[in-house]
Structure 1
Amino acid sequence: MSQRNTLVRAMHDVGLAAWFGGSLAGAVAVNGAAADLPDPTMRLTVANAGWARWAPVNAVAVGVHLLGGTVLLWTNRDRVAGQRGVAAQTVAKLMLTGAALAATGYSGALGRKLRAAEGVAVKGGTTPAKSTPAEVAHIQQQLDTCQWLIPALTCGVSVLTALAGEQQRSDRQLAEVITRPGRWLRAAG
């Protein structure tokens, strides 16, 4: 009899959705709205304030996603080991998740550096003005890359999650058991 994992699947999926959506909304809305301010010396302050409000929610979302994913990986360890393609999909998903975590952490560190530069004239949260000091401009350029990299990576994780769902369909598993029974028996034993 198969075990239901509704709560941990929801944790995994909702945490990922918030991580992806919050990152994308921040790139488009928070940094975009800051660029619309008429006073270029207030743009970093506003962008930083928006990201500072999101950071604790994002940390919880990432943590919930990771906890849900860890439990799912543990409960599906036999399927990961025994079903064709599942191990490769799992490794790819873990690598993308690790890259998204690294980009998120690095983005947070860059954001903390930008808080010290509030009051500097900029075009937007991640776009320097001609008069922006070189060090601040460099940080903004790195953040500009991160703000698009994080949603791209988390979108990739979401696509691999959809693939995992397809791999778990009963017709896919039945086909594996019929065509490769020895592998399934070893994984179950």
Structure 2
Amino acid sequence: MARNTLSRSLHDVGLAAWFGGTLANAVALNPASAEAGSAGRTGAVANEGWNRWTPVNAVAIGAHLVGSVGQLRAHRRRVAQQQGVAGMSVAKTVLTAAALGVTAYSRLLGQTVNQGGAVPSKKATKPTRRTKAEIAAAQEQLDRLQWVVPAITGALVALSSYAGEQQRPSEVARGVAQRA
């Protein structure tokens, strides 16, 4: 079997950063923003943290997508010939599309919050009574969505592990035999 170190690395490192960064921000940045000293500073700190993460996240997602295409291209014969690989590839594609959609929607909500500047906030995703209605609604949606991207990308990590197991020579031989 040919080596695909570059595409596998782009796939794995990009996915790891996408998963880990969004999880870290949900677990650490959003709650820690409440320690900024005032409701207005809380919003400003959270906005700044997410604004700094966004370009890194975009690069991570891009690396993952480029690596995914490279992996699919490199393993196209296995996808066609080995039982279970096509289904796994479709599942990964669906999960990736879902993660992209939620990430993009979350960013749009984040931009709504960011446009408010030093938005009064209890923590990044918890508005105060003084928070404007449109921004409060975006924060409340972000409060729920902040866990969705790590959940979906975490599922992608697990599915990618399964895909790696399918590449064992014994699994390839068995899957090709079952397909025939």
Give the gaps of 5 or more residues in structure 1: 183-189
Q: Is the 8 A contact 1:15 1:62 kept in 2?
A: yes
Q: Which residue is equivalent to 1:87?
A: 86
Instruction: In structure 2, give the amino acid aligned to 1:76.
Output: H
Q: Partners of 1:34 and 1:103 in 2: how far apart?
A: 22
The alignment covers a number of residue pairs equal to: 180
Q: Is the 8 A contact 1:31 1:47 kept in 2?
A: yes
2:102 is paired with a residue whose SS is helix
Instruction: In structure 2, give the amino acid aligned to 1:18.
Output: A
Cα 1:9–1:128 shift into 2, 3 Å: same
What is the CA distance between 1:3 and its match in structure 2? 1.1
Larger radius of gyration: 1
Q: Which residue is equivalent to 2:22?
A: 23
Q: Partners of 2:135 and 2:112 in 1: how far apart?
A: 8
Q: Which of structure 1's runs of 4+ aligned residues deviate more than 3 A?
A: 177-180
1:42 is paired with a residue whose SS is helix
Cα 1:177–1:120 shift into 2, 3 Å: closer
Q: Partners of 1:177 and 1:154 in 2: how far apart?
A: 29
Give the gaps of 5 or more residues in structure 2: none
1:51-102, CA deviations, whole angstroms, 9 ceiling, x for partnerless residues? Answer: 1111111110100010000010011111111111111111111000001011
What is the CA distance between 1:179 and its match in structure 2? 4.3
Query: What is the aligned-residue identity percentage?
Result: 49
Instruction: In structure 1, give the amino acid aligned to 2:90.
Output: V
Comparing 166-175 with 15-24, which one deviates more in the overlay?
A: 166-175
What is the CA distance between 1:119 and its match in structure 2? 2.9
Please, what is the CA RMSD of the aligned residues? Answer: 1.2
What is the CA distance between 1:120 and its match in structure 2? 3.1
2:25 matched to 1:3?
no
Q: Partners of 1:21 and 1:43 in 2: how far apart?
A: 22
2:110 matched to 1:111?
yes
Cα 1:179–1:107 shift into 2, 3 Å: closer
Q: Is the 8 A contact 1:42 1:118 kept in 2?
A: no
1:141 is paired with a residue whose SS is helix
